[in-house]
Amino acid sequence: MTLLDVDDLSVRQADGHELLHGLSFTLARGERLGLIGESGSGKSLTALAILSLLPAGLTAHGSVLVSGTQVVGAADRRLDRVRGRAVSAVFQEPLMALDPLMRIGRQIAGPLRRRRGLRGAALRAAVLAALEEVRLPERIASAYPHEVSGGQRQRAAIAMALACEPDLLIADEPTTALDVSVQAEVLALLDGLVAEKGMALLFIGHDLAVVAGVADRLIVLRDGAVVESGRTEDIVKEPRHTYTRSLVHSAWEFEAELDRLAP
Amino acid sequence: MTILETRSVGFAYRGGAPVLSDVSVAVSPGRNLALVGESGAGKTTLLRLLLGLARPSSGEVLFDGRSLRPDREFRRSVQPVFQDPYSSLDPRQRVDRIVSEPLRAMRIGARDEIGDRVAQTLRAVGLPADAARRYPHEFSGGQRQRIAIARAIVCEPRILLADEPVSALDVTTRVRLVELLRELNTARDLTVVMVSHDLAVVAALCDEIAVLDRGRIVERGPSADVLGSPRHPHTRRLVASVPRLRRSSGPPGEGR
Protein backbone atom coordinates (compact mmCIF):
# COMPACT_ATOMS: atom_id res chain seq x y z
CA MET A 1 0.00 0.00 0.00
CA THR A 2 1.37 3.40 -0.97
CA LEU A 3 1.54 5.68 2.03
CA LEU A 4 3.24 8.54 0.33
CA ASP A 5 2.88 9.48 -3.31
CA VAL A 6 4.86 12.54 -4.35
CA ASP A 7 4.30 13.54 -7.94
CA ASP A 8 6.05 16.41 -9.71
CA LEU A 9 6.50 18.35 -6.47
CA SER A 10 8.02 21.80 -6.84
CA VAL A 11 8.59 24.53 -4.29
CA ARG A 12 8.64 28.14 -5.37
CA GLN A 13 9.40 31.47 -3.79
CA ALA A 14 6.91 34.32 -4.03
CA ASP A 15 8.90 35.81 -6.94
CA GLY A 16 8.49 32.59 -8.89
CA HIS A 17 12.04 31.36 -8.35
CA GLU A 18 11.97 27.58 -8.08
CA LEU A 19 13.90 25.91 -5.25
CA LEU A 20 12.75 22.33 -5.76
CA HIS A 21 12.10 21.04 -9.27
CA GLY A 22 9.56 18.33 -10.04
CA LEU A 23 10.38 15.68 -7.46
CA SER A 24 8.49 12.35 -7.75
CA PHE A 25 8.65 9.22 -5.62
CA THR A 26 6.44 6.82 -3.71
CA LEU A 27 6.85 5.13 -0.38
CA ALA A 28 4.98 2.03 0.77
CA ARG A 29 4.52 0.48 4.19
CA GLY A 30 7.75 -1.02 5.53
CA GLU A 31 9.94 0.82 3.03
CA ARG A 32 12.86 3.02 3.98
CA LEU A 33 13.82 5.78 1.62
CA GLY A 34 16.84 8.00 2.10
CA LEU A 35 17.02 11.53 0.74
CA ILE A 36 20.62 12.63 0.54
CA GLY A 37 22.30 15.81 -0.60
CA GLU A 38 24.59 18.58 0.53
CA SER A 39 23.47 21.82 2.12
CA GLY A 40 21.04 23.72 -0.09
CA SER A 41 20.03 20.68 -2.11
CA GLY A 42 16.35 20.88 -1.10
CA LYS A 43 16.19 17.91 1.29
CA SER A 44 14.48 19.72 4.12
CA LEU A 45 12.20 21.65 1.78
CA THR A 46 10.91 18.30 0.58
CA ALA A 47 10.14 17.23 4.14
CA LEU A 48 8.43 20.52 4.93
CA ALA A 49 6.38 20.40 1.71
CA ILE A 50 5.15 16.89 2.54
CA LEU A 51 4.12 18.08 6.00
CA SER A 52 2.68 21.27 4.49
CA LEU A 53 4.89 23.25 6.85
CA LEU A 54 6.75 25.39 4.31
CA PRO A 55 7.83 28.76 5.68
CA ALA A 56 5.78 31.80 4.67
CA GLY A 57 6.54 32.94 1.15
CA LEU A 58 7.22 29.45 -0.21
CA THR A 59 4.53 27.49 -2.01
CA ALA A 60 4.31 23.86 -3.06
CA HIS A 61 3.06 22.79 -6.49
CA GLY A 62 2.29 19.37 -7.88
CA SER A 63 0.83 16.58 -5.81
CA VAL A 64 1.62 15.02 -2.44
CA LEU A 65 -0.74 12.26 -1.36
CA VAL A 66 -0.30 11.15 2.23
CA SER A 67 -2.36 8.00 2.79
CA GLY A 68 -4.52 9.15 -0.11
CA THR A 69 -5.10 12.70 1.17
CA GLN A 70 -3.90 15.57 -1.01
CA VAL A 71 -1.65 17.79 1.10
CA VAL A 72 -0.69 20.42 -1.47
CA GLY A 73 -2.99 23.41 -1.04
CA ALA A 74 -5.01 21.66 1.67
CA ALA A 75 -6.72 23.64 4.43
CA ASP A 76 -5.57 23.19 8.03
CA ARG A 77 -8.69 21.15 8.87
CA ARG A 78 -7.79 18.52 6.34
CA LEU A 79 -4.12 18.60 7.35
CA ASP A 80 -5.11 17.92 10.96
CA ARG A 81 -6.37 14.55 9.83
CA VAL A 82 -3.02 13.75 8.28
CA ARG A 83 -0.33 15.27 10.45
CA GLY A 84 0.50 13.26 13.55
CA ARG A 85 -1.68 10.33 12.43
CA ALA A 86 -0.70 9.40 8.90
CA VAL A 87 2.63 11.16 9.02
CA SER A 88 4.80 12.70 11.69
CA ALA A 89 8.31 14.00 11.84
CA VAL A 90 11.49 14.25 13.85
CA PHE A 91 13.86 17.11 13.12
CA GLN A 92 17.52 17.86 13.70
CA GLU A 93 17.06 20.06 16.71
CA PRO A 94 14.83 18.50 19.39
CA LEU A 95 14.74 21.77 21.31
CA MET A 96 12.66 23.23 18.51
CA ALA A 97 10.14 20.41 18.73
CA LEU A 98 9.86 20.66 22.51
CA ASP A 99 8.25 23.46 24.49
CA PRO A 100 10.90 24.69 26.97
CA LEU A 101 8.27 25.58 29.58
CA MET A 102 6.45 22.27 29.64
CA ARG A 103 7.50 19.06 31.36
CA ILE A 104 8.36 16.31 28.87
CA GLY A 105 5.60 13.99 30.09
CA ARG A 106 2.93 16.62 29.40
CA GLN A 107 4.30 17.22 25.93
CA ILE A 108 4.09 13.55 25.06
CA ALA A 109 0.60 13.47 26.58
CA GLY A 110 -0.58 16.26 24.24
CA PRO A 111 -0.95 14.24 21.04
CA LEU A 112 -2.15 11.18 22.98
CA ARG A 113 -4.99 13.18 24.48
CA ARG A 114 -5.97 14.97 21.32
CA ARG A 115 -5.62 12.15 18.89
CA ARG A 116 -6.40 9.07 20.88
CA GLY A 117 -8.75 10.71 23.38
CA LEU A 118 -6.95 9.24 26.38
CA ARG A 119 -7.55 10.72 29.86
CA GLY A 120 -6.43 10.17 33.45
CA ALA A 121 -4.77 6.89 34.34
CA ALA A 122 -4.94 5.58 30.78
CA LEU A 123 -3.17 8.71 29.52
CA ARG A 124 -0.49 8.42 32.21
CA ALA A 125 0.08 4.78 31.34
CA ALA A 126 0.35 5.64 27.63
CA VAL A 127 2.96 8.36 28.35
CA LEU A 128 5.06 5.93 30.35
CA ALA A 129 4.73 3.31 27.63
CA ALA A 130 5.84 5.88 25.04
CA LEU A 131 8.89 6.74 27.16
CA GLU A 132 9.73 3.12 27.64
CA GLU A 133 9.52 2.52 23.94
CA VAL A 134 12.31 5.05 23.35
CA ARG A 135 14.24 3.65 26.35
CA LEU A 136 13.78 6.69 28.56
CA PRO A 137 13.36 6.22 32.31
CA GLU A 138 10.07 7.24 33.97
CA ARG A 139 11.61 10.24 35.75
CA ILE A 140 12.13 11.99 32.39
CA ALA A 141 8.35 12.60 32.33
CA SER A 142 8.66 15.21 35.07
CA ALA A 143 11.79 16.87 33.66
CA TYR A 144 11.89 20.01 31.54
CA PRO A 145 13.68 19.77 28.17
CA HIS A 146 16.72 21.77 29.36
CA GLU A 147 17.24 19.35 32.25
CA VAL A 148 17.99 16.35 30.05
CA SER A 149 20.79 15.59 27.58
CA GLY A 150 20.61 16.14 23.82
CA GLY A 151 20.18 12.43 23.17
CA GLN A 152 17.38 12.16 25.72
CA ARG A 153 15.65 15.18 24.17
CA GLN A 154 15.79 13.58 20.74
CA ARG A 155 14.35 10.37 22.20
CA ALA A 156 11.54 12.43 23.73
CA ALA A 157 10.89 14.05 20.34
CA ILE A 158 10.76 10.58 18.77
CA ALA A 159 8.32 9.45 21.47
CA MET A 160 6.08 12.42 20.62
CA ALA A 161 6.28 11.71 16.91
CA LEU A 162 5.38 8.06 17.41
CA ALA A 163 2.71 8.66 20.07
CA CYS A 164 -0.17 8.47 17.61
CA GLU A 165 1.24 5.55 15.70
CA PRO A 166 1.80 7.20 12.33
CA ASP A 167 2.19 5.06 9.23
CA LEU A 168 4.96 7.25 7.93
CA LEU A 169 7.82 8.84 9.86
CA ILE A 170 9.91 11.62 8.34
CA ALA A 171 13.28 11.94 10.04
CA ASP A 172 15.14 15.06 8.90
CA GLU A 173 18.78 14.89 10.05
CA PRO A 174 17.60 13.40 13.35
CA THR A 175 21.09 12.62 14.65
CA THR A 176 23.18 15.42 13.16
CA ALA A 177 23.27 17.40 16.40
CA LEU A 178 24.17 14.40 18.54
CA ASP A 179 27.47 12.93 19.69
CA VAL A 180 28.63 9.97 17.69
CA SER A 181 27.92 7.32 20.32
CA VAL A 182 24.49 8.86 21.02
CA GLN A 183 23.89 9.00 17.28
CA ALA A 184 24.55 5.27 17.07
CA GLU A 185 22.05 4.62 19.87
CA VAL A 186 19.33 6.82 18.38
CA LEU A 187 19.81 5.27 14.92
CA ALA A 188 19.53 1.77 16.39
CA LEU A 189 16.41 2.86 18.26
CA LEU A 190 14.77 4.33 15.14
CA ASP A 191 15.73 1.28 13.15
CA GLY A 192 14.13 -1.06 15.69
CA LEU A 193 10.94 0.98 16.07
CA VAL A 194 10.38 1.36 12.35
CA ALA A 195 10.84 -2.39 11.83
CA GLU A 196 8.67 -3.34 14.79
CA LYS A 197 5.78 -1.10 13.77
CA GLY A 198 6.10 -1.71 10.04
CA MET A 199 6.17 2.04 9.44
CA ALA A 200 7.48 3.67 6.30
CA LEU A 201 10.52 5.87 6.87
CA LEU A 202 11.71 8.87 4.93
CA PHE A 203 15.20 9.54 6.24
CA ILE A 204 16.88 12.79 5.27
CA GLY A 205 20.56 13.44 5.77
CA HIS A 206 23.83 14.76 4.39
CA ASP A 207 26.04 11.99 5.76
CA LEU A 208 26.07 9.14 3.25
CA ALA A 209 27.33 6.60 5.78
CA VAL A 210 24.43 7.40 8.12
CA VAL A 211 21.71 7.48 5.45
CA ALA A 212 23.03 4.35 3.70
CA GLY A 213 22.98 2.53 7.03
CA VAL A 214 19.26 3.21 7.44
CA ALA A 215 17.69 3.34 3.98
CA ASP A 216 17.07 0.61 1.40
CA ARG A 217 16.62 3.10 -1.42
CA LEU A 218 18.26 6.47 -2.00
CA ILE A 219 17.36 9.62 -3.83
CA VAL A 220 20.30 11.95 -4.42
CA LEU A 221 19.35 15.62 -4.58
CA ARG A 222 21.39 18.50 -5.83
CA ASP A 223 20.29 22.11 -6.26
CA GLY A 224 16.68 21.10 -5.83
CA ALA A 225 16.66 18.34 -8.45
CA VAL A 226 17.06 14.57 -8.39
CA VAL A 227 20.36 13.50 -9.89
CA GLU A 228 20.09 9.79 -9.20
CA SER A 229 17.94 7.29 -7.39
CA GLY A 230 18.07 3.58 -6.81
CA ARG A 231 18.90 0.82 -4.35
CA THR A 232 21.30 1.98 -1.63
CA GLU A 233 23.73 -0.81 -2.31
CA ASP A 234 23.93 -0.01 -6.02
CA ILE A 235 24.42 3.70 -5.48
CA VAL A 236 27.08 3.25 -2.84
CA LYS A 237 28.98 0.73 -4.95
CA GLU A 238 28.37 1.93 -8.47
CA PRO A 239 27.15 5.50 -8.62
CA ARG A 240 26.23 6.47 -12.17
CA HIS A 241 25.92 10.22 -12.17
CA THR A 242 29.09 12.31 -11.96
CA TYR A 243 27.82 14.20 -8.94
CA THR A 244 26.83 11.06 -7.07
CA ARG A 245 30.20 9.60 -7.93
CA SER A 246 32.02 12.53 -6.36
CA LEU A 247 29.77 12.35 -3.30
CA VAL A 248 30.27 8.62 -2.87
CA HIS A 249 34.00 8.75 -3.54
CA SER A 250 34.44 11.58 -1.04
CA ALA A 251 32.62 9.53 1.56
CA TRP A 252 34.79 6.48 0.89
CA GLU A 253 37.93 8.60 0.84
CA PHE A 254 36.84 10.29 4.02
CA GLU A 255 36.71 7.08 6.00
CA ALA A 256 39.56 5.34 4.14
CA GLU A 257 42.21 5.99 6.76
CA LEU A 258 39.88 4.97 9.56
CA ASP A 259 39.00 1.80 7.63
CA ARG A 260 42.70 1.09 7.32
CA LEU A 261 43.48 1.67 11.00
CA ALA A 262 40.30 0.22 12.50
CA PRO A 263 38.66 -2.10 9.99
CA MET B 1 61.06 17.72 22.60
CA THR B 2 57.68 19.38 22.90
CA ILE B 3 56.44 22.80 21.83
CA LEU B 4 53.35 23.00 23.93
CA GLU B 5 52.22 20.80 26.79
CA THR B 6 49.94 20.61 29.75
CA ARG B 7 51.17 18.99 32.97
CA SER B 8 48.39 17.53 35.09
CA VAL B 9 46.17 20.52 34.53
CA GLY B 10 42.81 20.87 36.21
CA PHE B 11 40.22 23.47 35.42
CA ALA B 12 36.92 24.54 36.91
CA TYR B 13 34.75 27.43 35.82
CA ARG B 14 33.94 29.71 38.73
CA GLY B 15 31.84 27.91 41.31
CA GLY B 16 31.49 24.87 39.09
CA ALA B 17 32.60 21.27 39.22
CA PRO B 18 35.98 20.52 37.62
CA VAL B 19 35.82 20.43 33.82
CA LEU B 20 39.33 19.01 33.50
CA SER B 21 41.27 16.90 36.01
CA ASP B 22 44.88 15.84 35.79
CA VAL B 23 45.19 16.29 32.05
CA SER B 24 48.63 15.92 30.49
CA VAL B 25 49.09 16.27 26.75
CA ALA B 26 52.16 17.20 24.74
CA VAL B 27 52.53 18.59 21.25
CA SER B 28 55.72 17.53 19.48
CA PRO B 29 56.79 19.30 16.31
CA GLY B 30 55.32 17.76 13.17
CA ARG B 31 53.11 15.29 15.03
CA ASN B 32 49.49 16.37 14.58
CA LEU B 33 47.51 15.76 17.74
CA ALA B 34 43.79 15.11 18.07
CA LEU B 35 41.85 15.80 21.24
CA VAL B 36 38.91 13.48 20.90
CA GLY B 37 35.78 13.24 23.01
CA GLU B 38 32.05 13.85 23.12
CA SER B 39 30.25 17.01 24.13
CA GLY B 40 31.05 18.01 27.69
CA ALA B 41 34.28 16.00 27.75
CA GLY B 42 36.33 19.19 28.17
CA LYS B 43 37.93 19.34 24.70
CA THR B 44 37.23 22.99 24.06
CA THR B 45 38.27 24.00 27.57
CA LEU B 46 41.57 22.21 27.07
CA LEU B 47 42.01 24.07 23.80
CA ARG B 48 41.37 27.36 25.60
CA LEU B 49 44.12 26.52 28.09
CA LEU B 50 46.50 25.65 25.25
CA LEU B 51 45.66 28.96 23.59
CA GLY B 52 46.34 30.88 26.77
CA LEU B 53 42.75 32.12 26.85
CA ALA B 54 42.23 30.63 30.30
CA ARG B 55 44.58 29.65 33.11
CA PRO B 56 44.48 26.21 34.67
CA SER B 57 43.17 25.94 38.25
CA SER B 58 45.94 23.46 38.95
CA GLY B 59 48.94 22.11 37.09
CA GLU B 60 50.67 24.12 34.38
CA VAL B 61 50.80 24.79 30.67
CA LEU B 62 54.28 24.96 29.16
CA PHE B 63 55.33 26.62 25.93
CA ASP B 64 58.87 25.79 24.79
CA GLY B 65 59.53 24.36 28.23
CA ARG B 66 58.54 27.51 30.10
CA SER B 67 55.33 28.42 31.83
CA LEU B 68 52.98 29.81 29.16
CA ARG B 69 52.75 33.59 28.92
CA PRO B 70 50.42 34.76 26.17
CA ASP B 71 52.91 37.28 24.80
CA ARG B 72 53.68 38.28 21.23
CA GLU B 73 56.07 35.40 20.67
CA PHE B 74 53.46 32.90 21.86
CA ARG B 75 50.64 34.37 19.79
CA ARG B 76 52.82 34.39 16.76
CA SER B 77 53.62 30.72 17.26
CA VAL B 78 50.19 29.39 18.20
CA GLN B 79 47.13 30.38 16.18
CA PRO B 80 43.50 29.24 16.34
CA VAL B 81 40.89 28.18 13.75
CA PHE B 82 37.30 27.81 14.85
CA GLN B 83 34.44 25.56 13.86
CA ASP B 84 32.03 27.97 12.26
CA PRO B 85 33.46 29.93 9.35
CA TYR B 86 30.28 32.01 9.27
CA SER B 87 30.71 33.54 12.71
CA SER B 88 34.51 33.69 12.85
CA LEU B 89 34.98 36.16 9.98
CA ASP B 90 33.95 39.81 10.24
CA PRO B 91 31.33 40.28 7.50
CA ARG B 92 32.18 43.95 7.02
CA GLN B 93 35.85 43.51 6.25
CA ARG B 94 37.39 42.46 3.00
CA VAL B 95 39.37 39.24 2.95
CA ASP B 96 42.78 40.96 2.69
CA ARG B 97 42.01 42.94 5.83
CA ILE B 98 40.84 39.83 7.69
CA VAL B 99 43.85 37.77 6.67
CA SER B 100 46.38 40.53 7.39
CA GLU B 101 45.02 41.26 10.85
CA PRO B 102 47.55 39.12 12.77
CA LEU B 103 50.39 40.83 10.89
CA ARG B 104 49.08 44.27 11.76
CA ALA B 105 48.21 43.37 15.34
CA MET B 106 51.65 41.90 16.00
CA ARG B 107 53.48 44.43 13.80
CA ILE B 108 55.06 41.76 11.66
CA GLY B 109 56.62 42.82 8.37
CA ALA B 110 56.80 46.23 6.71
CA ARG B 111 53.59 47.77 5.43
CA ASP B 112 54.44 47.21 1.77
CA GLU B 113 55.18 43.53 2.40
CA ILE B 114 51.76 42.83 3.88
CA GLY B 115 49.95 42.69 0.54
CA ASP B 116 52.45 40.17 -0.80
CA ARG B 117 52.24 37.97 2.27
CA VAL B 118 48.46 37.96 2.11
CA ALA B 119 48.52 37.05 -1.58
CA GLN B 120 51.04 34.30 -0.98
CA THR B 121 49.02 32.91 1.94
CA LEU B 122 45.77 32.95 -0.03
CA ARG B 123 47.57 30.96 -2.72
CA ALA B 124 48.83 28.50 -0.11
CA VAL B 125 45.27 27.75 1.06
CA GLY B 126 44.02 27.38 -2.51
CA LEU B 127 42.04 30.60 -2.90
CA PRO B 128 42.09 32.67 -6.09
CA ALA B 129 44.15 35.87 -6.05
CA ASP B 130 41.07 38.07 -6.47
CA ALA B 131 39.72 36.72 -3.17
CA ALA B 132 41.62 39.46 -1.35
CA ARG B 133 39.27 42.24 -2.41
CA ARG B 134 36.04 40.36 -1.76
CA TYR B 135 33.85 40.00 1.34
CA PRO B 136 33.27 36.79 3.34
CA HIS B 137 29.63 36.45 2.25
CA GLU B 138 30.78 35.97 -1.35
CA PHE B 139 32.37 32.65 -0.41
CA SER B 140 31.07 29.17 0.33
CA GLY B 141 31.53 27.53 3.75
CA GLY B 142 34.62 25.63 2.63
CA GLN B 143 36.22 28.72 1.12
CA ARG B 144 35.47 30.70 4.27
CA GLN B 145 37.22 28.07 6.32
CA ARG B 146 40.19 28.48 3.96
CA ILE B 147 40.12 32.22 4.69
CA ALA B 148 40.12 31.46 8.42
CA ILE B 149 43.08 29.13 7.93
CA ALA B 150 44.88 31.78 5.88
CA ARG B 151 44.42 34.26 8.71
CA ALA B 152 45.81 31.74 11.16
CA ILE B 153 48.90 30.84 9.14
CA VAL B 154 49.81 34.25 7.73
CA CYS B 155 52.22 34.90 10.61
CA GLU B 156 53.84 31.48 10.08
CA PRO B 157 52.92 29.91 13.40
CA ARG B 158 54.34 26.58 14.55
CA ILE B 159 51.04 25.29 15.89
CA LEU B 160 47.51 25.56 14.58
CA LEU B 161 44.88 24.91 17.25
CA ALA B 162 41.69 23.97 15.45
CA ASP B 163 38.34 23.43 17.13
CA GLU B 164 36.25 21.07 14.95
CA PRO B 165 37.57 22.84 11.84
CA VAL B 166 35.65 20.78 9.27
CA SER B 167 32.57 19.52 11.05
CA ALA B 168 30.32 22.30 9.71
CA LEU B 169 31.19 21.42 6.11
CA ASP B 170 29.81 19.04 3.48
CA VAL B 171 31.77 15.85 2.94
CA THR B 172 33.41 16.75 -0.40
CA THR B 173 34.57 20.05 1.09
CA ARG B 174 35.67 18.27 4.24
CA VAL B 175 37.95 15.92 2.33
CA ARG B 176 39.60 18.83 0.53
CA LEU B 177 40.17 20.79 3.73
CA VAL B 178 41.74 17.82 5.47
CA GLU B 179 44.06 17.56 2.45
CA LEU B 180 44.93 21.23 2.80
CA LEU B 181 45.75 20.86 6.51
CA ARG B 182 47.92 17.83 5.80
CA GLU B 183 49.72 19.77 3.07
CA LEU B 184 50.37 22.69 5.42
CA ASN B 185 51.65 20.23 7.99
CA THR B 186 54.37 18.98 5.66
CA ALA B 187 55.08 22.07 3.57
CA ARG B 188 55.12 24.61 6.38
CA ASP B 189 56.26 22.63 9.41
CA LEU B 190 52.93 23.41 10.95
CA THR B 191 51.69 21.11 13.69
CA VAL B 192 47.92 20.81 13.90
CA VAL B 193 46.22 20.29 17.23
CA MET B 194 42.63 19.49 16.49
CA VAL B 195 39.63 19.12 18.73
CA SER B 196 37.19 16.75 17.13
CA HIS B 197 34.56 14.16 17.73
CA ASP B 198 34.92 12.85 14.19
CA LEU B 199 37.27 9.88 14.14
CA ALA B 200 37.38 9.74 10.34
CA VAL B 201 38.89 13.24 10.21
CA VAL B 202 41.19 12.38 13.09
CA ALA B 203 42.45 9.23 11.37
CA ALA B 204 43.09 11.13 8.16
CA LEU B 205 44.98 14.01 9.74
CA CYS B 206 46.49 13.20 13.11
CA ASP B 207 49.45 11.13 14.24
CA GLU B 208 48.59 11.18 17.93
CA ILE B 209 45.30 10.96 19.76
CA ALA B 210 44.28 11.82 23.30
CA VAL B 211 40.79 10.65 24.25
CA LEU B 212 38.94 12.74 26.82
CA ASP B 213 36.00 11.51 28.82
CA ARG B 214 34.39 13.73 31.43
CA GLY B 215 37.46 15.87 31.89
CA ARG B 216 40.04 13.11 32.06
CA ILE B 217 42.36 11.57 29.53
CA VAL B 218 41.32 7.93 29.29
CA GLU B 219 43.63 6.89 26.48
CA ARG B 220 46.53 8.41 24.60
CA GLY B 221 48.96 7.30 21.92
CA PRO B 222 49.71 7.02 18.22
CA SER B 223 46.53 7.05 16.09
CA ALA B 224 47.20 3.57 14.73
CA ASP B 225 47.20 2.13 18.27
CA VAL B 226 44.32 4.13 19.69
CA LEU B 227 42.03 3.49 16.70
CA GLY B 228 43.35 0.09 15.73
CA SER B 229 43.36 -1.52 19.15
CA PRO B 230 41.60 0.78 21.60
CA ARG B 231 42.15 -0.30 25.21
CA HIS B 232 39.69 1.86 27.12
CA PRO B 233 35.98 0.95 26.86
CA HIS B 234 35.11 4.58 26.11
CA THR B 235 37.46 4.63 23.13
CA ARG B 236 36.14 1.29 21.94
CA ARG B 237 32.60 2.66 22.06
CA LEU B 238 33.61 5.78 20.11
CA VAL B 239 35.30 3.74 17.41
CA ALA B 240 32.35 1.35 17.14
CA SER B 241 29.86 4.23 16.87
CA VAL B 242 31.32 5.88 13.77
CA PRO B 243 28.85 5.46 10.89
CA ARG B 244 30.73 3.65 8.15
CA LEU B 245 29.85 3.06 4.53
CA ARG B 246 31.83 -0.14 4.75
CA ARG B 247 29.42 -1.49 7.33
CA SER B 248 26.27 -0.70 5.41
CA SER B 249 27.50 -1.88 2.05
CA GLY B 250 30.77 -3.75 2.17
CA PRO B 251 33.94 -2.39 0.60
CA PRO B 252 33.63 -0.46 -2.68
CA GLY B 253 33.74 -2.19 -6.01
CA GLU B 254 33.10 -5.65 -4.63
CA GLY B 255 29.66 -6.67 -5.78
CA ARG B 256 27.83 -8.98 -3.41
- Domain membership of residue B70 (yes or no) is yes
Out of B141, B244, B255, the one facing A237 most closely (by C-beta) is B255
Over 60: is that where the pLDDT of A12 sits? Answer: yes
- Which residue range is the domain that position B233 belongs to? 4-246
Average of per-residue pLDDT across A185-203:
93
ipTM of the complex: 0.81
Q: Which of A142-156, A163-177, B129-143, B202-216 holds the top average pLDDT?
A: B202-216
Average of per-residue pLDDT across A164-186:
90
Q: Does A48 touch chain B (CB under 8 A)?
A: no
Using DSSP, how many helices (H) and how many strands (E) does chain A show? 10, 10
CATH number of the domain enclosing A42: 3.40.50.300
Which of A14-28, A85-99, B218-232 has the weakest average pLDDT? A85-99
Q: How many domains is chain B partitioned into structurally?
A: 1
Q: Does A251 touch chain B (CB under 8 A)?
A: yes
Q: CA geometry: angle at B82 spanning B162 and B194, to 5°? A: 15
- Which residue range is the domain that position A164 belongs to? 2-261
Are A258 and B170 inside 8 Å of each other by CB? Answer: no
Instruction: Quote the pLDDT of residue B86.
Output: 83
Q: Does A232 touch chain B (CB under 8 A)?
A: yes
Instruction: Quote the pLDDT of residue B249.
Output: 64
Nearest CA-CA distance, residue B40 and chain A, Å: 10
Instruction: Quote the pLDDT of residue A95.
Output: 82
CATH number of the domain enclosing B68: 3.40.50.300
Judge whether A161 and A197 are in contact, CB under 8 Å: no
Cβ within 8 Å of B, A 177-196: 179-184, 187
Average of per-residue pLDDT across A46-54:
94
Q: How many domains is chain A partitioned into structurally?
A: 1
Are A180 and B241 inside 8 Å of each other by CB? Answer: yes
Give CA–CA dist A259/B17, Å, rounded: 38
The segments of chain B whose pLDDT lies below 50 read 253-256
- Domain membership of residue B189 (yes or no) is yes
Give CA–CA dist A131/A163, Å, rounded: 10
Please list every residue in chain A whose beta carbon sits closer than 8 Å to the beta carbon of residue B39: 150, 179
Give exposure, A16-44, as e/b (b: 16+ Cβ within 10 Å): eeebbbebebebeeebbbbbbbbeebbbb
Write the DSSP assignment of B50-118 as a string of letters: HTTSS--SEEEEEETTEE----HHHHHHEEEE-S-TTTSS-TTS-HHHHHHHHHHHTT-S-HHHHHHHH
Give CA–CA dist A178/A171, Å, rounded: 14
% of chain A surpassing 70 pLDDT: 100
Give CA–CA dist A98/A237, Å, rounded: 39
- Domain membership of residue B228 (yes or no) is yes
